[in-house]
Amino acid sequence: MSVATKDFAATGVRWDLSSLFSSPDDPRIEKSWIASHVEADKFASNYRGKLEEEELSASELAVALKEYEVFSNEGVKPVIYASLLFAADTSNPQLGAFLQSQSEKMSELRVKLMFFEIELQGAEEDYVAKLLADDALANYRHFIKTTRTMSPHTLSEIEEVLLEETANTGCRAWQRLHEELTSNHVYKYSDPVTGVVTELSQEEIVDKFRDPVRKVRQAAADGFSAGLGELERTIVFIYNTLLADKKLEDRIREFEHPESSRHLSNELDKSTVDLVMQLCKERNDVVSRYYEVKRELLGLEELTHVDRYAPLFESNEKKTWAEAQRIVLDSFESFSSEMASAASEFFAKNWIDAEPRPGKSGGAFCSSNTPDTHPVLLQTYLGGLNDVMTLAHEMGHGVHAYLSREQTPFNFNGTLPMAELASIFAEMVTFEKIVAGADLKDKLALYADKIEGIFATVHRQASMFRFEQRCHEKRRSDGELTAEDFGDIWQEEIQSMFGDSVKLGDQHRSWWEYVGHFIHTPFYVYAYSFGELLTLSIYQIAKSEGPSFVDKYVQVLKLGGSRTPQELMSILGVDLSSKAFWEGGFAALEALVTEFERLNREYKG
C-alpha cells in the first residue's frame, strides 16, 4: 500500500532565528548599523596611518584587530538574517528588498574600513615579522599571514577603492546580466506525448533530465538547447568581456596564472591543485565502469547526454522526520558522541527549517552564522532516502560550524577546500548505515546516487576547471573566443570524463552557458573536487585507524579556519602534497563502484 508523501514531509519543522533578530522591523537592526558606523569612524581616526608609520606595538595591534573583528561579526548579522528570511520565502519581494538594503549597508561599512587591511598588507616585512613573533598576536597570526599573502598583489588605497567602486558598473554588472538572463529565461518544453508546449524556468527544465522516461529527457534537452541558443550571442559576449576583465586585473595585480588568485584565497599551492586535477583526469576509468553498468540497468544501447542523470529506480523506502533524526543521530553517535550531541541540539532548539513550503528556496544549505550565535540548516524534507542523506550532509556542515564557535570571528569560517570536511564525512557515515538496512533495489539506487554525486563533484568539476583554464588562456593568447571555440573546448573536456561510456551529442555544446560559477567566481569549481576527494580519503583513514582518529578529527573541526588547510591536515597525519593520499580518495570511490557492480550481478541473479 502506498502512503501519501505528505505523511513523511517535515511539516511544521521551522527554524528559530531569534538569536539574530526578531523580524525585519526589529529596532536592533538599525541600532546596530548606527553603532557600527560610529565605531568605524572612531576606528579610522584611531588607526589610519598607524601601520604605515609602524606606530603600533603587537599588543596595540591585537586590540585593533579585536575591534576590527567586531565589525565583521556585527556587520554580517543583519545580512545573514536577511538572506535567511529570503531563502525561506523567496516569493516575498519585501524580503528581497530587505536583503538588498542590508547588503548595501554592509558594503558602505566595508569601504570605510578598507584602509586597515590595505595598510596591513602594505606594512614593511621586518616590522610585521617582529609583531608576529609576539604572543600578544597569537590568535591573529593566521589572519595576518593570509591577509598579507595578498600584499604583492595589492594596490594603493585610492586604486583599490576605485577598482571596488567601478566594479559595480564593470564585471559585477556583466555578472548580474548573466544572472538575470539565465534565471528569467523561459524554455519551451514540448511534451513528447501530447505535443503541448509549456514554458519552463531553467530549474524546471534541467530537473527533467532526471525523469525516468527517456522521451521526456530528450524533449527537455531539446528545449534547453534551443533556449540557450537564444541567449548564446549575449552570453558569449559576457564571458569574453569577463575573460578580458580578469586578464586586465591579473596584469595590474601581477598574478602569474589565471587561477593564481583563487589558489591564494583557498590557501593552496598551485602544485597541490595541479596534482589533484591531474589525478582526476587519470582516474576517469571509474566513471566509464559505472556508466557501463548503468547502461545495462537502463536497458539502453548507448548512453548520451540525456541519460547521464536518468534514475535507475525510484527508491521505495520513506522515512518520517523523526526517523531521519534518529538515523542521523545514531550514525553520528557511532563515530563521535561529541558530534552526535552537537547535532541533537539542532533538533532540540529548532535550528532546522525542513518543512516543504511554496516560495522556499530549492536545495539545501547550512548557514554558519557567527561564533556568538549558532548555525542553522535549510532543506525541504519529503521523506525520501535522498532527503535523509541531505540532512546528514547539512548536519555535517552544521556540526563543523557548531564546534568552530570556539574560534573568534576571523578564525571561524574555513577556506573553501576545507568546507566539505564534515559534510561528506557525515554523509558517508550515514550512507553506510542506510544501505545496511535497505533492500537490493534500494541499495542499487542509493549507490547510484552516491556514485553519481561523487562524479559530479570530482570529475565533472575537474573537467570544468580545465574548461575555464583553457578559455582564460586562449583569451590571453588569441583574443576573443567564438561560440564555436567555447563549444569545442567544453565538449572535449566534459567528454573526456566519460570516455566511450556516454556520448555527448552536439546539443550539449552550449551547456557551459548556464554555469554561473564560470561567470561569478572563476576557478571556484576545483574546490569541490578537492574537498570531496580529501574527505573520501580521510574517511578511509578514519576507518582503518579507529577510535584514536576521532579526537584528532574533532579537534580539526574545532579549529575552524584558524589554520591553513595544510596545517589542519597535518594534525590528522595527512600531507596534502602526497600523491598516495589523494589516491586513497579514488580507492574509496572505486570501492563504491566495485560494490555497485557486485550488487548489479546479484540483481541480475
Residues 278-337 that bind Zn ion (CB under 5 A): none
235 vs 588 by CB, closer to Zn ion? 588
Q: What would the x/- binding string for Zn ion be over residues 372 to 411, using CB under 5 A?
A: ----------------------------------------
Distance CA 122, CA 282 (A): 42
- 167-206: buried (b, 16+ CB within 10 Å) or exposed (e) per residue? eeebbeebbebbeebbeebebbbeeeeeeeeeebebeebb
Total Cβ atoms within 10 A of residue 27: 10
Helix (H) or strand (E) holding 190, with range, is: strand 187-190
Q: Minimum Å distance from CB 461 to Zn ion? A: 13
Question: Which residues, including other chains, have CB under 8 Å from residue 224's CB and lie 6 or more apart?
Answer: 187, 205, 206, 511
- Residue 223 CA from chain centroid, whole number: 28
Is 272 or 423 the residue whose CB approaches Zn ion more closely?
A: 423
Question: Closest separation between CB of residue 423 and Zn ion, Å?
Answer: 4
> In this chain, which residue has its C-beta nearest to Zn ion?
423
DSSP H or E segment with residue 490: helix 483-498
Q: Which is nearer to Zn ion, 83 or 510 (CB)?
A: 83
Listed in sequence order, the residues at least 6 apart from 329 whose beta carbon sits closer than 8 Å to its beta carbon are 340, 343, 344, 347
CB of 397 to Zn ion, least distance (A): 6
Query: Between residues 423 and 529, which has the closer beta carbon with respect to Zn ion?
Result: 423
DSSP lists the bridge partners of residue 200 as 187
Q: How far is the CB of 456 from Zn ion (least distance, A)?
A: 12
Instruction: Please return the burial class of 257, using the count of CB atoms within 10 Å of its CB with bins 0-12, 13-18 and 19+.
Output: middle
- Which DSSP symbol is given to 414? P
> Please, which residue, 95 or 589, has the CB nearer to Zn ion?
589
When the beta carbons of 398 and 522 are compared against Zn ion, the nearer one is: 398
Range in contact with Zn ion (rule: CB under 5 A) among 129-137, 176-184, 344-352, 423-431: 423-431
Does position 423 bind Zn ion by CB under 5 A? yes
Please, which residue, 123 or 342, has the CB nearer to Zn ion? 342
Considering only residues 561 through 590, tell me which ones interact with Zn ion, judged by CB under 5 A. none
Residue 375 Cβ vs Zn ion, minimum distance, rounded to whole Å: 13
Nearer to Zn ion, 315 or 423 (CB): 423
Least spacing, CB of residue 531 vs Zn ion, in Å: 8
Q: Does residue number 225 form part of the binding site for Zn ion (CB under 5 A)?
A: no
Based on CB atoms, which residue is closest to Zn ion, 404 or 510? 404
Calpha distance 435→145 (Å, rounded)? 45
For strands 187-190 and 197-200, give the pairing: antiparallel
Task: Work out how close the CB of 393 gets to Zn ion at its nearest, in angstroms, rounded to a whole number.
Answer: 6
CB 398 to Zn ion: min, Å: 10
CA distance 294 to 54: 65
Residue 187 three-state SS: strand
Name the grid cell of 533.
Answer: 576527494
With CB under 5 A as the contact rule, which of the stretches 259-267, 419-427, 550-558, 583-591 interacts with Zn ion?
419-427
Closest distance between Zn ion and the C-beta of residue 394, in Å? 7
> Cα dist. 568→60, 349, 381, 424, 564 in Å?
28, 30, 34, 17, 6
Q: How far is the CB of 566 from Zn ion (least distance, A)?
A: 21
Region of 127-135, 284-292, 350-358, 422-430 interacting with Zn ion (CB under 5 A): 422-430
Segment near Zn ion (CB under 5 A), from 25-33, 102-110, 215-223, 420-428?
420-428
What are the two backbone dihedrals, phi and then psi, of residue 304, each rounded to the nearest 5 degrees? Answer: -120, -170
Contact criterion met (CB below 8 Å) for 276 and 537: no
What are the angstrom distances between the C-alpha of 185 and each of 42, 197, 220, 364? 47, 15, 15, 23
Minimum distance, C-beta of residue 428 to Zn ion, in the bound complex (Å): 13
**Residue 404 or 423: which CB sits closer to Zn ion?**
423
Between 223 and 531, whose beta carbon lies closer to Zn ion?
531
> Is residue 223 within 8 Å of 186, Cβ to Cβ?
no
* 5-64 binders of Zn ion (CB under 5 A): none
Applying CB under 5 A, which part among 127-135, 140-148, 418-426, 577-585 lies near Zn ion?
Answer: 418-426
* Size of the residue set binding Zn ion (CB under 5 A): 1
By CB under 5 A, name the binding residues for Zn ion.
423
